[in-house]
Chains A and B, each alone.
Chain A
Amino acid sequence: MKIQAFLQKVLLLELWQGMWVTLKNQFRPHITVEYPKETVEFPPRFRGVPRLRKDPQTGEELCVSCLLCEAICPTECISIVSEKRPDGKGKQLISFTINYERCCFCGLCVDPCPTKPITAIYMSHDYEFAGFDRDSYVTAREELVDGKPVKIYTS
């Protein structure tokens, strides 16, 4: 045992072992991706910015202006203006704005949305949002439904 420990010390064995590990890893595939050219795949639950959607079958507005999402949002970034429907049943949206600048991607707004199982507000997979001015982050209803145009910086 003592001899072994001595040899280990003199022959720098543990250093060689360490160098072997790094050498070995050199031949493993890399784990990063070249971002704008390739992107990673997202799982279905990925939380990008929240967006609105219409009923995929009928194309009708799903949101019933219940203001629950506005109430639960911890950063108070949703603002909804609505009015009584002309036929007197429920309310309809006048405007629906999310300030992406403040949104913290927490996903709480989706929880209470009553239009189950397809919630009117949902966490999309959009995430490329770099911009130059703050005003452009205030996103109105049309863009919330159709998606914000994304600038692609890749050559």
Chain B
Amino acid sequence: MFRTEMMDINMGPQHPSTHGVLRLKLLLDGETVTDTDVLIGYLHRGVEKLCESKNYHMIEPYTDRLDYVAAMYENLGYVETVEKLMGITVPERAEYIRVITAELQRIASHLVWLGTHALDIGAMTVFFYCFREREILLDLFEAFCGARLTYNAYRIGGLPWDVPPGWTDRVRHFVKIFPGRQQEYDTLLTKNRIWLGRTKGVGILKAGDAIDFGVSGPCLRAAGVSYDVRKAHPYSVYDRFLFDIPTGENCDTYDRYLVRMEEMRQSLRIVQQALDGLPAGEVMGKVPKRIKPPVGEVYHTVEGPRGELGFYIVSQGEDKPYRMRFRSPSFVNLQALPHMVKGSLVADVVAVIGTLDIVLGDVDR
């Protein structure tokens, strides 16, 4: 009597909540998602190929443009990889400042995630409160390196500048006020029944699946796997700080929310410790004028806000890399999306995109 049919629907590349130019092809049965096709590549700029024609100094601004929400981590990962390849030691003070800026960047990045995630679910005010605090952080970055988004803040072998006068006091001030501000987001969301309803049991990604998909970062930790590059393969001076790795147990969107909220608190702890232990001294190590790494290859990872961020460089002894490869966490995490949204409603797709915290610049490169 009635004829029913599935409906194909295109979500993106122009859609308010696909966080850029992600395109999903959903096959809907009513409002239930039965199949998802993730189509990427709308922001592909060929950075990896581009890097082969640039010398090692020139590449850093390009890494800024990968994960533009957390550019400090791209910078950090890149310079550390080159340093590892060449065996350069970085002065203590530079390492500490790198840790401080990177952890502040993690908070800033998580704030963008929280704001947009809440906005997708409809809580628009949280977005503005998050950006209020992010603004303080961006001001700090701006005072430190002169830019608010694409920092280009580190150099191979150290930092181009020491921190400006009064900067550490401003960071201390932020460390002091931030817990109160975070309390506000907590009040607005954590126990709110609508928020609970929208996130609990949504987008479940079990530990086994997460590992199979190669998912890393908060999405993996919310599944109960306590894996964090900062602890597993400590880089920089992370082995000197005390911090916990928050994990979840229900593998759902709500747990990922809690994990990221807790990560912000832990980052604050690291920043506090690094500020207290900040040594005096130089910020630039001994680096040859022309960077010409020896023949060889190197892989190095850092724990970005989105997960394990890897850099792979093949050097043939020239001043340009022979091959450059980024392991971008957003790209890998995105693979899990069709698995996570199968059988859920359209509204959940939006929540899952938000909880994966992808940045399209990082996905498409």
Contact = CB atoms under 8 A, between A and B. Distances in A.
Direct A–B contact in the complex, CB atoms closer than 8 angstroms: yes
Interface of A: 9, 12, 14-15, 17-18, 20-22, 25, 31, 42-47, 72-74, 104-108, 111, 123
Nearest to B143: A43
A17 B187 contact: yes
B61 A18 contact: no
A116 to B, nearest CB: 13
A108 B142 CA distance: 16
Interface stretch (B33-41, B109-117, B145-153): B145-153
A47 B54 contact: no
B62 interface: yes
A74 to B, nearest CB: 4
B146 A107 contact: yes
Contact of B146 (A18, A20, A123): A123
B146 A46 contact: yes
30 contacts: A9-B193, A14-B191, A15-B193, A18-B187, A18-B188, A21-B188, A22-B125, A31-B132, A31-B135, A43-B143, A43-B164, A45-B143, A45-B161, A46-B142, A46-B146, A46-B147, A47-B145, A47-B147, A72-B57, A74-B58, A74-B59, A74-B61, A105-B150, A106-B150, A107-B146, A107-B152, A108-B61, A108-B152, A111-B155, A111-B160
Contact of B142 (A17, A31, A45, A73): A45
Interface string B327-340: 00000000000000
Given A14-B191, A31-B135, A108-B152, 6 more contacts: A9-B193, A45-B145, A47-B145, A106-B150, A107-B146, A111-B160
Given A14-B193, A72-B57, A74-B54, A21 B184 contact: yes
A2 B287 CA distance: 64
Nearest to A45: B146
Contact of A25 (B129, B150, B192): B129
Contacts of A105: 147, 150
A22 B124 CA distance: 11
B235 interface: no
Contacts of B146: 43, 45-47, 107, 123
Interface of B: 54, 57-62, 64, 125, 129, 132, 135, 139, 142-147, 150, 152, 155, 160-161, 164, 184, 187-189, 191-193
Q: A-B pairs with the 9 shortest C-beta distances? A: A74-B58, A47-B146, A106-B61, A43-B143, A45-B146, A14-B191, A106-B152, A18-B188, A21-B187
A48 B191 CA distance: 44
A137 B223 CA distance: 51
Contacts of B152: 106-108
A65 B210 CA distance: 55
Residue of A14, A31, A42, A104 most packed against chain B (CB within 10 A): A14
Contacts of A123: 146
Contacts of B132: 31
A106 B62 CA distance: 9
B187 A108 contact: no
Contacts of B161: 45
A45 B153 CA distance: 12
A31 B135 CA distance: 9
Given A74-B54, A108-B152, A45 B193 contact: no
Contact of A108 (B58, B135, B188): B58
Contacts of B191: 14, 17
A124 B319 CA distance: 30
A45 B193 CA distance: 46
A111 B161 CA distance: 10
A76 to B, nearest CB: 9
Contact of A42 (B57, B125, B142): B142
Nearest to A12: B193
Contacts of A15: 192-193
A138 to B, nearest CB: 21
Contacts of A45: 142-146, 161, 164
Contacts of A12: 193
A18 B144 CA distance: 35
B153 to A, nearest CB: 10
Contacts of B61: 74, 104, 106, 108
Nearest to B65: A104
Contacts of B155: 111
A74 B63 CA distance: 12
A72 B58 contact: yes
Contacts of B59: 74
A14 B192 contact: yes
